[in-house]
Chain A
Amino acid sequence: MKLLEYQGKKLFADSGIAVPAGETADTPGQAARIAGEIGPEAVLKAQVPVGGRGKAGGIKIVSGSAVTAEAASILGMQIKDHRVEKLLVEEKLSAEQEIYLGLIVDTDTGSIVVLFSPKGGVDIEEVAEKEPDQVFRLIVDPFIIPPRYRLRRFIRQGGYRGKLLEELTSVAEKLLKLALKSDLLVAEINPLMVLADGRVLAGDSKVEIDDNALFRQQFEKRFWEEQDPLEQEAREIGVTYVKLDGSIGVIASGAGLAMTTMDLLKEAGHEPANFLETGGGITEELLYKAFRLVCKNEKVNSVIINLYGGVNPIEKGARGVVRALSEMDNPPVVVAKALGNKQEECWDVFREGGVSVVTAVETEAAVRELLKRIS
């Protein structure tokens, strides 16, 4: 789960990493009130979970009476598929230096990697490409948190010394501890601002929490409400859902099977409306909810179901789909391929509910059947 900037900054602040003074606003009026309290100048920042906000006009420096109008122009703005519904109103600070500090779970090596560059700011990707010697990496053993002296030596590579080196080392240590404690997959501060008076503050945040670890994290509830409603619903049901542009809904047990189904649809010239992976443990209730979720996307006019059953009889899943279908005024065309425990009973349930059943092993056969039905 990706956090919005202000949510990430809350985690930073709770961990003792300094952030600019500020508050969130949902209306231009609120923004004006907060800006007035902050001082003569303030920064308005659109809260959307994507990069490139500045270039899209989602970040503005404002002063005096202009705040209300500027806030009104950003709220409601569309930035890369995300409607701006919240602003972060912050004090305006001038950084003497912009540093990059990030931490990521590197899935290929299976380690935690801390990244640091004295050349932070919006062009960090370009720096990484053109001046790779300006990006420093520290690989962390998951069993051993690096002691402070190791972190100090790591940060010193950026050419820092004395008090600033100590400050930066402290921020790196806090960020690493936060990531381990809070199950973060990504924790990035860019820019990490160094002010003229020597203070070091997180100018932005990019934080992603491991969905699989939400059960042991305390902060989830206060952030959940801000997530995309369909993806939030999927999380509550216990399935993985990604919305796409097409009109054919996809439900599959297993990510590989779901992607193969999408690939075959696309190869045949059709666009999937979503990716939905049920995981193991298919029940009637799970499939009932998953099917309804897929059909909440108004573009969906047909659905392809591709399942393998395990411990739970696959026929239960079919009952869930058929129940959801029977409650719909405009039911979509549905084709199902389902194999495994109680497959014959499953096929009967589907057929009685008006679903075309494909009994072949090949997903391709189900795709062909669906295309025949909708053409």
Chain B
Amino acid sequence: MMGILLNRETKAVVQGITGRIGSIQASWMLQYGTGIVAGVTPGKGGAEVHGLPVYDDVYETVEKHDANASVIFVPAAFIKDAVLEAIDAGLKLIVAISEHVPVHDVLKMKRAAENNAVWLLGPNTPGIITPGVGKLGIMPGNMFKEGSIGIISRSGTLSYEVAGLINEAGFGESTLAGVGGDPVVGTRMVRLLKEFESDPDTEAVVIVGEIGGNSEEEAAEFIEEMSKPVVAYIAGRTAPSGRRMGHAGAIISKGGGAGTVDSKERALREAGALLAEKPGDVAGLLKRALK
């Protein structure tokens, strides 16, 4: 099994490896068999964590280990610089786990990633897992299984539930990629859909979406051209709307309720995706689509 983005060629570093969470998560990612080559914590160069060498910056991990990916566990206040450094050092897959990152910082991270053709997952993501190959993130490895279903999710824990139900039905995952739950994230769903469409190990894709924004609507435009079936579940039908934007928001999102469950489901259905009313329906729809 290969899956997308995270594969046997991945040589990842853990930024923030000497922190409590970074250290524990690094050990779990190593146990899972992930290709991790080093850790980074400024001021701790020369140390060792779980047998991994620790460097003061990301650049040195590229010089010494050909690092090409990173998973970042630093406090929200420092995540922007950690991501920009990783991009500047030339890494091509960056997973930003932290939640509560200021939006203005995310705008910069996202723009820099786009300008440099970098895959930035997050912030506020569980990360990415290619079962049997590795994981860069905090998802429990034992909740996933090798298989041929690609999952794209805006939600961490809800995607664990969906994966669990898919596995109970006899399927497994090629890759699960969490784009992140924040209003602005580094990667749009549609880019991941394109990867799954061209991945020989993926037979079908499940989208775990949420209300807000237009990334599901945008994804729908590509689903129309896809050869592989797509099943989608969108959370938030009963969430109260309009808690935030003023006139400025209303102006931008004019044109008929983009962001609601109805809008997303309509766009996805018209594009040919199968819509699950609840997480428990996803596996049944996959069976029908792959029959």
Chain A residues engaging chain B, CB cutoff 8 angstroms: 2, 51, 100, 102-108, 110-113, 115, 124-125, 128-129, 135, 141-143, 180, 183, 185-186, 188, 190, 206, 208, 210-213, 215-216, 242, 244, 252-257, 259-260, 262-267, 272, 275, 279-280, 307-308, 310-311, 339-341, 361-364
Chain A residue numbers with a CB within 8 Å of B214 are: 108
Are B102 and A213 in contact, CB atoms less than 8 angstroms apart? yes
Q: Distance in Å from the Cβ of B137 to the closest Cβ of chain A? A: 10
Are B239 and A262 in contact, CB atoms less than 8 angstroms apart? yes
User: What number of A-B contacts does a CB cutoff of 8 Å give?
Assistant: 187
Are B103 and A361 in contact, CB atoms less than 8 angstroms apart? no
Roughly how many angstroms separate A140 CA and B45 CA in the complex, as a whole number? 38
Per a CB cutoff under 8 Å, which of B111, B157, B213, B247 touches A308? Answer: B157
Roughly how many angstroms separate A108 CA and B218 CA in the complex, as a whole number? 10
Chain B residue numbers with a CB within 8 Å of A135 are: 251
The reply to whether the CB of B244 lies closer than 8 angstroms to some CB of chain A is: yes
Q: Distance in Å from the Cβ of B88 to the closest Cβ of chain A? A: 13
The reply to whether the CB of B82 lies closer than 8 angstroms to some CB of chain A is: no
- Tell me whether A341 and B140 are in contact in the complex, defined as CB-CB below 8 angstroms, given that A212-B100, A308-B157 are known contacts: yes
Q: Distance in Å from the Cβ of B80 to the closest Cβ of chain A? A: 10
Are B157 and A254 in contact, CB atoms less than 8 angstroms apart? yes
Are A260 and B235 in contact, CB atoms less than 8 angstroms apart? yes
Are B154 and A256 in contact, CB atoms less than 8 angstroms apart? yes
Q: How large is the interface on B (under 10, 10 to 19, 20 to 34, 35 or more residues)?
A: 35 or more
Please name the residue on chain B nearest to A306 by beta carbon.
B157
The reply to whether the CB of B165 lies closer than 8 angstroms to some CB of chain A is: yes
Are A186 and B248 in contact, CB atoms less than 8 angstroms apart? yes
Q: Distance in Å from the Cβ of A301 to the closest Cβ of chain B? A: 19
The reply to whether the CB of B272 lies closer than 8 angstroms to some CB of chain A is: no
Are B213 and A107 in contact, CB atoms less than 8 angstroms apart? yes
Please name the residue on chain B nearest to A362 by beta carbon.
B280
Per a CB cutoff under 8 Å, which of A115, A143, A255, A257 touches B248? Answer: A115
Are B248 and A104 in contact, CB atoms less than 8 angstroms apart? yes
The 4 A-B pairs of least Cβ separation, nearest first, read A256-B155, A256-B158, A254-B157, A102-B248
- Tell me whether A266 and B238 are in contact in the complex, defined as CB-CB below 8 angstroms, given that A257-B158, A362-B165 are known contacts: yes
Please name the residue on chain B nearest to A141 by beta carbon.
B111
Roughly how many angstroms separate A308 CA and B214 CA in the complex, as a whole number? 27
Chain B residue numbers with a CB within 8 Å of A102 are: 246-248, 251
Are B251 and A256 in contact, CB atoms less than 8 angstroms apart? no
Are B107 and A111 in contact, CB atoms less than 8 angstroms apart? yes
Chain A residue numbers with a CB within 8 Å of B49 are: none
Chain B residue numbers with a CB within 8 Å of A263 are: 235-238, 278
Roughly how many angstroms separate A140 CA and B210 CA in the complex, as a whole number? 27
Contact with A along B122-158 (1 / 0, CB 8 A): 0000000000000000101001000000000111111
Roughly how many angstroms separate A150 CA and B237 CA in the complex, as a whole number? 42
Per a CB cutoff under 8 Å, which of A279, A310, A363 touches B279? Answer: A363
Within 8 A of A (CB), among B216-253: 235-240, 243-252
Chain B residue numbers with a CB within 8 Å of A266 are: 237-238
Roughly how many angstroms separate A252 CA and B101 CA in the complex, as a whole number? 20
Are A183 and B103 in contact, CB atoms less than 8 angstroms apart? yes
Please name the residue on chain B nearest to A185 by beta carbon.
B103
The reply to whether the CB of B211 lies closer than 8 angstroms to some CB of chain A is: yes
Interface CB pairs A-B, < 8 A, 16: A100-B247, A111-B107, A115-B248, A115-B252, A128-B250, A212-B101, A253-B157, A254-B156, A255-B155, A256-B157, A260-B161, A260-B279, A262-B238, A263-B235, A311-B138, A364-B278
Roughly how many angstroms separate A260 CA and B106 CA in the complex, as a whole number? 26
Chain B residue numbers with a CB within 8 Å of A242 are: 240, 243
Are B249 and A254 in contact, CB atoms less than 8 angstroms apart? no
- Tell me whether A125 and B184 are in contact in the complex, defined as CB-CB below 8 angstroms, given that A108-B214, A186-B246, A361-B165 are known contacts: no
The reply to whether the CB of B4 lies closer than 8 angstroms to some CB of chain A is: no
Are B181 and A183 in contact, CB atoms less than 8 angstroms apart? no
Roughly how many angstroms separate A213 CA and B155 CA in the complex, as a whole number? 22
Chain B residues engaging chain A, CB cutoff 8 angstroms: 20-21, 24-25, 76-77, 99-104, 106-108, 110-112, 138, 140, 143, 153-161, 164-165, 168, 181, 183-184, 208, 210-215, 235-240, 243-252, 254, 277-280
Chain A residue numbers with a CB within 8 Å of B108 are: 142-143
Please name the residue on chain B nearest to A186 by beta carbon.
B246
- Tell me whether A362 and B161 are in contact in the complex, defined as CB-CB below 8 angstroms, given that A188-B247, A206-B246 are known contacts: yes
Chain A residue numbers with a CB within 8 Å of B235 are: 256-257, 259-260, 263
Roughly how many angstroms separate A128 CA and B238 CA in the complex, as a whole number? 28
Are B278 and A113 in contact, CB atoms less than 8 angstroms apart? no
Determine which residue in B112, B181, B279 has the highest number of CB atoms from chain A within 10 A of its CB, and name it: B279
- Tell me whether A257 and B239 are in contact in the complex, defined as CB-CB below 8 angstroms, given that A115-B248, A363-B279 are known contacts: no
Per a CB cutoff under 8 Å, which of B112, B183, B184, B239 touches A259? Answer: B239
Q: Distance in Å from the Cβ of A135 to the closest Cβ of chain B? A: 6
Please name the residue on chain A nearest to B107 by beta carbon.
A142
Are A210 and B250 in contact, CB atoms less than 8 angstroms apart? no
Determine which residue in A185, A242, A256 has the highest number of CB atoms from chain B within 10 A of its CB, and name it: A256
Roughly how many angstroms separate A341 CA and B141 CA in the complex, as a whole number? 11
Roughly how many angstroms separate A180 CA and B24 CA in the complex, as a whole number? 36
Chain A residue numbers with a CB within 8 Å of B211 are: 259
Roughly how many angstroms separate A107 CA and B154 CA in the complex, as a whole number? 14
Roughly how many angstroms separate A104 CA and B110 CA in the complex, as a whole number? 17
Are B247 and A190 in contact, CB atoms less than 8 angstroms apart? yes
Per a CB cutoff under 8 Å, which of A216, A257, A280, A364 touches B138? Answer: A280
Please name the residue on chain B nearest to A206 by beta carbon.
B246
Chain B residue numbers with a CB within 8 Å of A112 are: 107
Are B210 and A128 in contact, CB atoms less than 8 angstroms apart? no
* 18 further A-B pairs in the complex, CB-CB below 8 A; given A115-B248, A256-B156: A102-B247, A104-B248, A104-B252, A105-B184, A107-B183, A125-B251, A143-B112, A185-B103, A186-B248, A210-B104, A256-B181, A260-B235, A262-B239, A263-B235, A265-B238, A307-B157, A308-B160, A311-B20
